[in-house]
């Protein structure tokens, strides 16, 4: 399936989807809003392959939603920190979670903090 590019569409929703519309990206941002910063934390939470997680983290850095900061030289390791744009996604995630609780059969929120919060 070929992915459609929404960059040129004159709709703010479509353009926003260009930055965060892939489901792994939304879940990574959810976890980052909950305070996760390390590759292994994201991987444990999401259960995704290292290749998929690496691609999505790189894309979120490229889109300006996460910032990569080195915390170890040997082995080379980075933290992934929310930028201002990334923190600004928190209210959207909260609304999406509230919608899911009400309309997607979730009696309660997911385990962990009850709401994604900006750090």
Band of the pLDDT at 6, cuts 50, 70, 90? Answer: low
Domains along the chain with CATH numbers:
12-103 (1.10.10.10)
Cα–Cα distance between 61 and 56 in angstroms, integer? 9
Q: What is the 3-state secondary structure (H, E, C) of 49-80?
A: CHHHHHHHHHHHHHCCCEEEEEEEECCEEEEE
pLDDT, tens digit, 9 for 90 and up, residues 13-53: 777 777 776 788 999 999 999 999 999 999 999 999 999 99
pLDDT tens digits for range 98-109: 888 888 876 665
């Amino acid at each position: 399936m070929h992915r459609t590019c929404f960059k040129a569409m004159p709709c703010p929703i479509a353009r926003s989807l260009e930055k965060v519309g892939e489901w792994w990206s939304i879940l990574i941002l959810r976890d980052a809003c909950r305070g996760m910063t390390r590759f292994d934390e994201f991987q444990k939470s999401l259960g995704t392959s290292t290749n998929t997680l690496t691609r999505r983290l790189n894309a979120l850095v490229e889109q300006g939603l996460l910032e990569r900061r080195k915390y170890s030289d040997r082995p080379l390791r980075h933290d992934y920190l929310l930028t201002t744009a990334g923190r600004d996604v928190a209210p959207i995630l909260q609304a999406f979670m509230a919608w899911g609780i009400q309309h997607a059969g979730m009696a309660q929120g997911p385990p962990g903090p009850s709401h994604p919060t900006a750090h």
